[in-house]
Amino acid sequence: MTEYDYWKIFPKMPRKIKIGDITIRDGLQHEEKFISTAAKKFYLEELIFAGCRNIEVTNLGSPYLMPQFADAEELLAHLRGDRFKSKCARKGINYDDIVLTCITIRETAVDRAIQLREKGIGPDRLLMMVSTEEEHHFANSGCTLPQYWKEAERSIKKCNDAGMKMCGTVSTIWGSPIGGATDMKDAVEFTKRWLEIGAYDIEHADHDGSASAPDVYRYFAMIMDEIPNPEFHIAHFHETKRVASASVLAALHAGITHFEATLGGLGGQPANFLDDTPVKGTGEYYYKDHRYVGLVTLEDTLVQIDEMGIEHGWDVDRVLWLGKQMERTIGRRLRSEAMLNGRTLKEGHPQFARAGLKKKKEQAGEGADQNLPEEWGEKAVLPERCLP
């Protein structure tokens, strides 16, 4: 007989996971209008109050390249302030459980993070990234891979000495928007290299939506064979073909327990236009239509995880409400379906019932729970042609 217990079929699939939010950093970096500092503070706070404990706050790179993050220090100061800490205490949140991450693609940004740390407002965790395909890596960093690895090694030592952790990102695992097909074995090796030089954990990133579910499972199975502690691994999926939820499921099957997402599926390549002004960003967009890209949505991912019965620690209804607010902030329809249609409720929606069913059954002489004609047998009898 077929096994029906999902966790027996996929014994590595976790019963409890973490979902980190990266809306205010990765989500907003693709927006072509400046999102106010007040709005960013609101969503950072509310996401934490809704259950987020791993949150990307901002990018500490040059505001000349990405002016969306010109308010980086103000956001960090806000989250390090006594007022926010008091709010957390009133809501029963242990402030020390919150991990604030900043992106620091280059060493100069790491140095900036250290200076902020010395001022008492620095992040807990930084992130640097490599692509296994060098043209993509060069487009993002301006460095060759060997040059960048040496810079990363120096930066991790500085970071660790300052009391911060470094996350090493591996990108173009399932393909590059510039160089095309890639070899997943390279990403496994790059993961080991990050850990070798002192990275605390690894973000495994599908930065352009190239991944397919079978290859996601295959890759993370390879990773877990080599480095089996799931605490080291974070799955990061972009959405360009509306299949990222399948990638989330495939990663779960392989035993991955930490994921990232954004409200409304916001995100994508850094904007090269802000408000009414062209900006540098990372150059020309490599998407056919930059409006239809982003990450896997926080709302849909949470509903998917929640309805699977996997523990996650979030207030799902609060997140669905936040998704509606984010649409108003951004000023357009975003990509979440769960935000629009809600969750599948076990109690159903009795307000939509057609009046008169009870009376109709009584008139027909049917029992309240009767679903079949009285004269039919207790069990269905399959015709010969349908038998196994």
HEC string of 308-355 equals: CCCECCCCHHHHHHHHHHHHHHHCCCCCCCHHHHCCCCCCCCHHHCCC
Contact 222, 233 (CB under 8 A): no
Encode pLDDT of 28-82 as tens digits. 999 999 999 999 999 999 999 999 999 999 999 999 999 999 999 999 999 999 9
Q: Which domain holds residue 295?
A: 14-341
In whole angstroms, what is the distance from residue 238 CA to residue 177 CA? 12
Residue 30, in any domain of the structure: yes
Encode pLDDT of 313-341 as tens digits. 999 999 999 999 999 999 999 999 999 99
In whole angstroms, what is the distance from residue 253 CA to residue 284 CA? 36
CA dist 350 to 294, 347, 354, Å?
36, 8, 9
How many CB atoms sit inside 10 A of residue 324's CB? 15
Mean pLDDT confidence for 217-235: 98
From the number of C-beta atoms within 10 Å of its C-beta (0-12, 13-18, 19+), residue 163 rates as: exposed
First-to-last C-alpha distance (Å) of the chain = 12
pLDDT at 242 over 90: no
H or E element in which residue 129 lies: strand 125-131
Residue 353, in any domain of the structure: no
Contact 106, 130 (CB under 8 A): no
Contact 12, 254 (CB under 8 A): yes
Count of residues making up the chain:
388
Domain count, the chain: 1
Residue 316, in any domain of the structure: yes
CA dihedral 163, 104, 169, 26 (to 10 degrees): 120
- Tokens of residue 85, six digits: 């800490």
Residue 64, in any domain of the structure: yes
Q: What pLDDT band is residue 282 in, cutting at 50, 70 and 90? A: confident
The residues pairing with 205 across neighbouring beta strands, listed in sequence order, are 236
Mean pLDDT confidence for 116-129: 97
Using alpha carbons, select from 29, 25, 116 the residue that is nearest to residue 77: 116
Q: What pLDDT band is residue 286 in, cutting at 50, 70 and 90? A: confident
Note the pLDDT of residue 302: 97
Residue 165, in any domain of the structure: yes
Which CATH number characterizes residue 151's domain?
3.20.20.70
- Tokens of residue 357, six digits: 């069913």
Residue 136, in any domain of the structure: yes
Note the pLDDT of residue 130: 97
From the number of C-beta atoms within 10 Å of its C-beta (0-12, 13-18, 19+), residue 179 rates as: middle
How many CB atoms sit inside 10 A of residue 168's CB? 23
pLDDT at 290 over 80: no
Residue 205, in any domain of the structure: yes
In whole angstroms, what is the distance from residue 169 CA to residue 156 CA? 13
Residue 118, in any domain of the structure: yes
Q: Is the pTM of the predicted complex or chain greater than 0.85?
A: yes
Note the pLDDT of residue 180: 92
pLDDT at 291 over 80: no
